Structure 1
Amino acid sequence: MHAFQENPEFSFDSLPDAPPEGERWSSWDGATHGPKPRPDWVITALAAVEADLGILKTGKEADVHVVRRWVPDGTDQPALDTWMAAKRYRTSEHRMFHRDAGYQEGRRVRRSREMRAMARRTDFGRELLSGQWASAEFEALGQLWELGLPVPYPVQLSDREMLMEFIGSDGEAAPRLAQTRPAPDLLADLFEQLRRTMTVLAGHGWAHGDLSPYNVLLHGERLVVIDWPQVVDVIGNPRGFEFLERDVTNMCRWFRARGLDADESELMGDLVAAATSRW
């Protein structure tokens, strides 16, 4: 990815009538944007175009595509050029809210009509849930990024599409932790990275809620935690500690299977102490 500066001379009058075939104009304008200061690879120029490079991951609630955004300058490798991950949540007709009831406990919306619609899973309620999951993940990523936690930077949110940092190198996505076999000396360091991340989360009253080696990427020697739409309020959700314990069990089991003595009880005790210290 390349650092850049926005062009202060830009105006809509300078845009051609249409972007190149198979591409679209930058979707930055009109979207909700991630926290400042933004990383220098984020392209905000309205003259930029975007191209979908294909599906990176499919899921029950959303698919993740790879999107390239760049500012054309007549060369094959323009100076302003970056790749992002585009998470596109399904519409209410095609989504499977198979576990959302438990995660939604402790969350509130302002209007009682909306709460009833979501509880009854009416068409209107399902649309609200779809939007809630997208906005919940975007907001969570923004807050976690500001805390310095290892998560993708959330670039923008438009309807059901969230653009975020592409985790990888030279166009190749970082593997999921479940697909890797770290060396023994790295394994211990990775567990400490996990412990620090989960402790900071718990200290702010949160749990991932669906943490597993499939929701953690290994980028070089650094863990990056992904998939945050179900982030759980440990105290406000009646099942908060249950979700936290499941996160701990999933991760410790994987590390033990790789030969590391990962103590679930010890980690869970540390996280409970961090979560309850706020009260």
Structure 2
Amino acid sequence: MSSTPEFPADFPAFWPSPDEYRPGPDPLDGIDPSFVFDFRTYDEIGDGQRWTTWFDVEPLSRGPEPRPAWVVESRGAIDTELGILKTGKEADVFLLERADPHDPDSGVVMAAKRYRDRDHRSFHRSSVYSEGRSVKRSRDERALKRKSTWGRIVASGEWAISEWDALKRLWQLGAAVPYPVQIDGTEILMEWINVDGETAPRLAQTRPDTELLESYYDQVRDFLALLVHDGIVHGDLSPFNILAAGERLVVIDLPQIVDLVGNPNGMDFLLRDCTNVCSWFKARGLAVDEQELFGELMAHAF
């Protein structure tokens, strides 16, 4: 089919004749490809969904770089609630899928930890774990001590920020913790630790053979040593907040992390962590001793 247009017989003479007609240059020729994009439309979101909050938070509220390849950074991504995973005294954990409808294969399921509001959370950890921490505003510090209404508001955010900072710090140290994706107010999105699409069981729920049991103990000891070498203590470590992802252990629940020296109870927390984990391993037949582990860890601290 000819691309030359047909002209009527009475076409003005000052226009080019059909033989002289040549199509003009492509208007996109010479344009930087970065200025050219495909326009795509998205359907309205449904119940239990929201547009991604990745771009709603400040850059410092996103996970450390280099980020894992599975982190979804598309502006067209949608967050879909998949249900509750775990309830707790300070926070509840939900499963949340983040995926771009135009690229569903790149979607990912994450754990969304949401700290309870001031009317539905407990203060049982605050006074002992937060010793040695600083609060930027004196008004907030006084409110925390009085456990006033404002103090409860501050505390909700304090625990979320504390866990966020701990996750980032430990991830960058190379510790076995979930990758922290982002924090938005009192919600932390983090890596979902799973085995074949099912949430990894807690260490307390496992019955490993002798070889795997020894490997698990070595991993726990190395985790504690890494923290102590950096001057911090988990503060609430037990077989109930260690997940067994196959042969790999991953530690969760870190809002109460304390400074080994800055907190006057730091040494006591470390000994308690040693006692909690050693008691479980001893009950399964492994010859370990909490005092020996404590002494070994203290050698890493000084």
Settle same-fold status: TM greater than 0.5: yes
Measured in 1, the distance between the counterparts of 2:211 and 2:37 equals 51
1:152-208 Cα offsets, whole Å, 9 max, x none, are 000000011100000003320000000000111111111011111100100111110
> Which stretch of structure 1 is more off in the superposition, 54-63 or 28-37?
28-37
Q: Give the TM-score normalised by the residue count of structure 1.
A: 0.91
Q: Please give the secondary structure, in 1, of the residue aligned with 2:105.
A: coil
Measured in 2, the distance between the counterparts of 1:249 and 1:9 equals 61
Paired position in structure 2 for 1:193: 219
Determine which of 92, 99, 102 is the counterpart of 1:70. 99
RMSD: 1.8
The amino acid across from 2:216 in the alignment is: L
2:63 corresponds to 1:37:
no
Measured in 2, the distance between the counterparts of 1:110 and 1:20 equals 40
Paired position in structure 1 for 2:236: 210
Determine which of 186, 189, 214 is the counterpart of 1:160. 186
The amino acid across from 2:284 in the alignment is: R
Measured in 2, the distance between the counterparts of 1:194 and 1:22 equals 38
Determine which of 160, 166, 175 is the counterpart of 1:149. 175
Paired position in structure 1 for 2:146: 120
CA contact (8 A) 2:234 2:256 kept: yes
Q: Give the TM-score normalised by the residue count of structure 2.
A: 0.84
What is the percentage of aligned positions where both structures have the same residue? 52
The amino acid across from 2:248 in the alignment is: R
Counterparts of 1:1-279 in structure 2, within 5 Å, are 14=40, 16=42, 18-31=44-57, 32-73=61-102, 78-275=104-301, 277=302
The amino acid across from 1:70 in the alignment is: A
CA contact (8 A) 2:81 2:96 kept: yes
Measured in 2, the distance between the counterparts of 1:178 and 1:168 equals 16
Structure possessing the higher relative contact order (Cα contacts under 8 Å, 6 or more residues apart):
1
Q: CA deviation at 1:99?
A: 2.0
CA contact (8 A) 1:10 1:47 kept: no
> Which stretch of structure 1 is more off in the superposition, 230-239 or 265-274?
265-274
Equivalenced residue count is: 266
1:125-144 Cα offsets, whole Å, 9 max, x none, are 11111101000101110010
CA contact (8 A) 2:195 2:246 kept: no
1:74-119 Cα offsets, whole Å, 9 max, x none, are 8xxx221111000010001111111221000000112222111111
CA contact (8 A) 2:125 2:256 kept: no
> Which stretch of structure 1 is more off in the superposition, 26-35 or 154-163?
26-35
Q: CA deviation at 1:10?
A: 7.4
Identify unmatched segments of 5+ residues in structure 1: 1-6
Identify unmatched segments of 5+ residues in structure 2: 1-33
Task: Please tell me whether Structure 1 or Structure 2 has the larger radius of gyration of its CA atoms.
Answer: 2
Measured in 1, the distance between the counterparts of 2:83 and 2:213 equals 32
